[in-house]
Structure 1
Amino acid sequence: MEVRRAFDILPSQLAKYPKSDCLAAKVNGEWQKMSTQQVSEAANQVSLGLRQLGIGKDDKVAIISMNRPEWMLADFGISQLGAVSVPMYPSITVEDYKYIFTDAGVKAVFVSDKSLYAKVKEATASLPEVQHIFTFDKIEGAQHFAELLAMGRKGNVADLEPLKAAVQPDDLMTIIYTSGTTGNPKGVMLSHDNLLSNCRNSQPSVRVTKDDTALSFLPLCHIFERMVTYLYMINGVSIYYAESMELIADNLREVKPQIFTTVPRLLEKVYDKIVAKGHDLEGVKKNLFFWALDLGLKFDTQKNQGFVYNTQLALANKLIFNKWREALGGNLKCIVSGGGALQPRLARVFWAAGIPVMEGYGLTETSPVIAVSGFERANNYIGAVGPVIQNTEVKIAADGEILTKSPSVMKGYYNKPELTKEVIDADGWFHTGDIGEFVNGRFLKITDRKKEMFKTSGGKYIAPQVIENKLKESPLIEQAMVVGADQKFPSALVVPSFDELKNWCKRHEVPFSSNEEMIKNPKIVDMYDELVKGYNQSFAQWEQVKKVCLMPHLWTVETGEMTPTMKVKRKAITENNRELIESLYHQNAVR
């Protein structure tokens, strides 16, 4: 069966690869599995239940939940009616929910738990258009998901056929609100074909089979995990949902997946934990660990480094890296990383350890993949985001901006035609806002965001992301933001990785008190200054960070300084620290 609409995935999987564990999640400590047949039946019940409530074609239904099977049941159930799903992050504010509910004209909402139910009730208190809120967890006084399924079971599945038949591949399927770093979020309109064409065109790079299992923990409300989930299901991959971010390590050992998707920061934390354990070793074991790590940091996918290196690496894999693979379940074919720049050192070490890392690139507006590295060395260039996927055009504009054209480019921004015209030109090219180049004629490399580049008072352009990503290669730096627009030189606000800083203090016999006190400690300030000076060697004179200001607390979504996709909100951080930043440029300023 040809998959032309998202909900075609279920009958297709049922016909080709019927699974006993299509979707699985932990309930009361046990993995509860749903077969393809059960998923299909439950999706039909969602459709019939919503239909009884008056939900039909083009109506908007929100989903706000962490990853769990019910998320996908709601997604398929909505799309079978020709209705439009509006997924949202569980972490955003009540004000954000209210704005999106109003802008999209949401009529019904699915939420997972008690805290989200309370937020949604508050957001919808003055919105009579939102008529139904269903909860995945049982909550006193709330309509439970099981009630909707029960309503659906009273309906006739045959009644869905004409409704499904009326849905065309180019019909609007979902509106995903992107968490802009400034202003209100924009609703990206994606059709069935936008996402499914992206699945088809990414398929040759992500070679999964019906015998594979995936662990899912990146938010399904993000286009990356949503598209990959469809790709998994089209190919008969079983999907297990992690219990929480804190329990990913345990779930990896239990599920033993062949693949999972991640964002760079999670991979960095895995790496940092492994290195921290290496520091705790003693004697020969410690020397062996760091010998293997040093070998890994020299790995190059594009270069055969000869008999001696290859022999040493094979030994390192037997003695050290085999334990890394076991910690990640022991069966990984590859890890797919997206949503931000992956530090080259991480890619090198994981590749050396026999764990290929595929870095990809795209945007919500492109459904999302534009380019992705392969898990074959020939198609993987460390530091780049891979070859452009098939049936996708990319060109670099005169100012360095990446432009793309493909069937995966969005229909536009919901209710914002003028904004759509700003990013999709008359010839159909989508302007990504990213600056990039091709390496070796085929590997796309991202260098910065066009809007985030700034000029110093000397007229030199600074690309902050490049510098920030270099600084964050240090395990001692959690977050960094480069400032200095219209100033003589760039400076950096740096949030230390306080766990790693505690380890450093222990090794150097520096008593650790509070975060606030430690960032003022002269030994620590000097250490970070020297650290930054070392990284400055990678940059031209005018790009080098001259002053560093250590920050006592993480920037988070809750403080309004990070987007839900963990990108820095430069405007908010600048506003919150305006005096501090100005002080960096006063001659006698005290840091």
Structure 2
Amino acid sequence: VHREITGQTGIKKLLTSIAPRSYIKRKIRRSLGFDDIRLIISGGAALPGWLSSGLSQYGLDVIQGYGLSEASPLITVNPPSSPRHESIGMVIPSNDVEIRDTDGEGNGEITAKGPNIMLGYYKNQAATEEALTRDGWLLTGDIGYFDEDGYLYITGRKKFVIVTKGGKNVYPEEIEEKLTKSPLIEEALVFSPDDAQIQALVFPQMEEVQRRIERMGEDVTPENIWLLLRHEIRHANRELEPYKKIGHFAVRLEEFPKTTTRKIKRYLFKDLRLTPDTRVLL
């Protein structure tokens, strides 16, 4: 939508620039068949803040919530009257949520308790004891923090956290969100082969990448794709603390394999190590 609007030329560009934003929003909603839809609810995976706010600019308000099947399934949700795009919302009235085992930045495991929390897994006592404390708190395995107004934010998964040799916690999902903010990057996988250097594997948005490279008068080759994306990696690094910066990256020329819920199968890449001369993985 953004590319279609900003890419207008001539009289269409002029009309788009002077048309009231409310008019443009109505046109977009109508063209997508969303005339009668009041809200779009997002769940299942964290929605990047830049995506949520971008949709909102064009009249597509997205309310993000959070929960698990073990919580039947809701724990938090953004109030429709005052949503925060990067947040998974506020705790529903029937629940209590605590952040446990916090690190130096206030991130810790999200735990929840309430009447909607499961009693346990059917005929699986071992799994139940891993997920529930003796007093009924659900250990979600998600890492997050509260802001001063009681909005909850997710920064990653406990099982994916990278603990550097300096004792710092790096959450791959946080860095991946910054990378995929770029219109040139479709997907990203952040990892560390040695708990020292942060590395990334990137699947480009090929249509946009091709357009940029051809505009530069160059051939669309794997090497030129890597060189173009290097600027995006450097831009993301400028927003990261030193211990989170990406030391090396490579380009993947096909989509990542995913689960049925469209999450990257990280376990397939657990032994991946990029050498300094690796730029493209075929």
Q: TM-score, normalised by structure 2?
A: 0.88
Aligned partners of 2:183, 2:15: CA distance in 1, in Å?
A: 20
Aligned partners of 2:179, 2:190: CA distance in 1, in Å?
A: 10
Aligned partners of 2:205, 2:55: CA distance in 1, in Å?
A: 21
5+ residue gaps, structure 2: 103-107
Correspondence 1:324 to 2:61: no
Count of residue pairs the alignment pairs up = 273
Q: 2:50 aligns with which of 334, 345, 352?
A: 345
SS in structure 1 at match of 2:167: coil
In the alignment, what sits opposite 1:160?
none
In the alignment, what sits opposite 1:453?
161
Q: 2:96 aligns with which of 382, 386, 393?
A: 393
Correspondence 1:583 to 2:279: no
Correspondence 1:336 to 2:41: yes
1:383: Cα distance to partner? 0.9
1:497: Cα distance to partner? 1.7
Computed over aligned residues only, the root mean square deviation of the Cα atoms, in angstroms, reads 2.2
Correspondence 1:535 to 2:236: yes
In the alignment, what sits opposite 1:571?
267
Higher helix share: 1
* Letter paired with 2:275: S
Whether the 8 Å CA contact 2:185–2:205 is kept in 1: the answer is yes
Whether the 8 Å CA contact 1:447–1:466 is kept in 2: the answer is yes
Q: 1:431 aligns with which of 139, 144, 161?
A: 139
* Letter paired with 2:86: G
SS in structure 2 at match of 1:547: strand
Whether the 8 Å CA contact 1:471–1:480 is kept in 2: the answer is yes
1:487: Cα distance to partner? 4.0
User: 1:248-273: per-residue Cα shift (whole Å, max 9, x none)?
Assistant: xxxxxxxxxxxxxxxxxxxxxxxxxx
In the alignment, what sits opposite 1:478?
186
Q: TM-score, normalised by structure 1?
A: 0.44
Equivalent residues in 2 for 1:207-218, closer than 5 Å: none
In the alignment, what sits opposite 2:252?
551
Whether the 8 Å CA contact 2:250–2:274 is kept in 1: the answer is no
With over 3 angstroms needed to count, the CA separation of the structure-2 counterparts of 1:482 and 1:278, relative to structure 1, is same
In the alignment, what sits opposite 1:466?
174
User: 1:194-241: per-residue Cα shift (whole Å, max 9, x none)?
Assistant: xxxxxxxxxxxxxxxxxxxxxxxxxxxxxxxxxxxxxxxxxxxxxxxx
With over 3 angstroms needed to count, the CA separation of the structure-2 counterparts of 1:510 and 1:519, relative to structure 1, is same
Whether the 8 Å CA contact 1:332–1:355 is kept in 2: the answer is no
Aligned partners of 1:275, 1:450: CA distance in 2, in Å?
A: 35
Correspondence 1:282 to 2:4: no
In the alignment, what sits opposite 1:365?
70
With over 3 angstroms needed to count, the CA separation of the structure-2 counterparts of 1:415 and 1:435, relative to structure 1, is same
Whether the 8 Å CA contact 1:519–1:551 is kept in 2: the answer is no
Whether the 8 Å CA contact 1:456–1:490 is kept in 2: the answer is no
5+ residue gaps, structure 1: 1-273, 292-311, 513-517, 557-561
With over 3 angstroms needed to count, the CA separation of the structure-2 counterparts of 1:401 and 1:507, relative to structure 1, is same
* Letter paired with 2:142: D
Whether the 8 Å CA contact 1:371–1:388 is kept in 2: the answer is yes
Whether the 8 Å CA contact 2:94–2:114 is kept in 1: the answer is yes
User: 1:164-183: per-residue Cα shift (whole Å, max 9, x none)?
Assistant: xxxxxxxxxxxxxxxxxxxx
> Identical aligned pairs, as a percentage?
33
Aligned partners of 2:9, 2:236: CA distance in 1, in Å?
A: 29
Aligned partners of 1:435, 1:571: CA distance in 2, in Å?
A: 19
1:582: Cα distance to partner? 4.0
In the alignment, what sits opposite 1:420?
128
Bigger Rg, structure 1 or 2: 1
1:459: Cα distance to partner? 3.3
With over 3 angstroms needed to count, the CA separation of the structure-2 counterparts of 1:508 and 1:321, relative to structure 1, is farther
SS in structure 1 at match of 2:63: strand
* Letter paired with 1:278: I
Aligned partners of 2:86, 2:14: CA distance in 1, in Å?
A: 28
Whether the 8 Å CA contact 1:396–1:437 is kept in 2: the answer is yes
With over 3 angstroms needed to count, the CA separation of the structure-2 counterparts of 1:458 and 1:397, relative to structure 1, is closer
* Letter paired with 2:49: P
Aligned partners of 1:373, 1:284: CA distance in 2, in Å?
A: 40
Whether the 8 Å CA contact 2:248–2:274 is kept in 1: the answer is no
1:398: Cα distance to partner? 2.8
With over 3 angstroms needed to count, the CA separation of the structure-2 counterparts of 1:488 and 1:286, relative to structure 1, is farther
SS in structure 1 at match of 2:208: helix
Equivalent residues in 2 for 1:158-237, closer than 5 Å: none
Aligned partners of 2:6, 2:213: CA distance in 1, in Å?
A: 13
